[in-house]
Amino acid sequence: MKYKLSILFLFVVLIFSQCNQNKKISEEQQIDWVLNNDNWVLSDWVADSISVLTTSEKPITLDFDQENKKISGNAGCNQYFGTYTLDNENLKAGPMGSTMMFCTEEIMQQEQQFLALLEAGMEISKKYDLLILRNDNNQLTFKPIQK
C-alpha cells in the first residue's frame, strides 16, 4: 500500500511541475507577442482606482523595437524615446528623452507622469489583445494600432 501511495504521490508531483512549467512558457510567449506587436495606443488609464481622462492633443502611444531594446512613442504632445529592459514581467524604460514642443501645463504634467511611470518600471501583461502595464497605483491599458 505504501508503495502505491508513493507512486501516486510522485505522479501527482510530476503532473503539477509540468503544468507550472507550461504556464511560464506561455507567459514568456505572451510577452514576446506584446513586444513583437510593436505599436500600441493608450485606451484606458486608471490611477488609484479612478479613471484618468487624458487631456492629450495627440493619442498616447507606445512603440517597441525589440531587436534594439528601444521604446518610443507620443506622450500626448511630445515624442519620447529611450531604451527599455524586461526582467521577468517587469518593464522598465530609461534613460528617456523627448522633444520639447510647447503644450499646455496640464498636458505637460500628464506627459511627465506617464514617462515617470515607464521609468519607474511596471508589470507587463497581456489580456486578450490588450497590453496592460500596472504598478501599485496605476494601470495603463493599450490596444494595438491597426496598420
Residue extents of the structural domains in the chain: 2-144
Would you state the pLDDT for residue 128? 87
The mean pLDDT value of the chain amounts to 82
Residue 70, CA distances (Å) to 57, 83, 87, 97, 116 in order: 24, 4, 15, 12, 16
Query: What's the pLDDT at 17?
Result: 53
Mean pLDDT over residues 121-137, rounded?
A: 93
More confident: 97 or 88: 97
Region of residue 45 (phi > 0: left; psi between -120 and 50: alpha; otherwise: beta): beta
pLDDT of res. 87: 87
**CATH number assigned to the domain with residue range 2-144, chosen from the 4 options 3.40.190.10, 2.40.128.270, 2.60.200.30, 2.40.50.140:** 2.40.128.270
The model's pLDDT over 14-71, given as tens digits with 9 standing for 90+, comes to 555 554 443 443 455 556 655 666 699 999 999 988 877 777 778 999 999 988 999 9
pLDDT in tens, 101-114: 999 999 999 999 99
Please tell me the distance from the alpha carbon of residue 45 to that of residue 42, in angstroms, as a whole number.
Answer: 7
* Residues 70-93, mean pLDDT to the nearest whole number: 94
User: What percentage of the chain exceeds 90 in pLDDT?
Assistant: 56
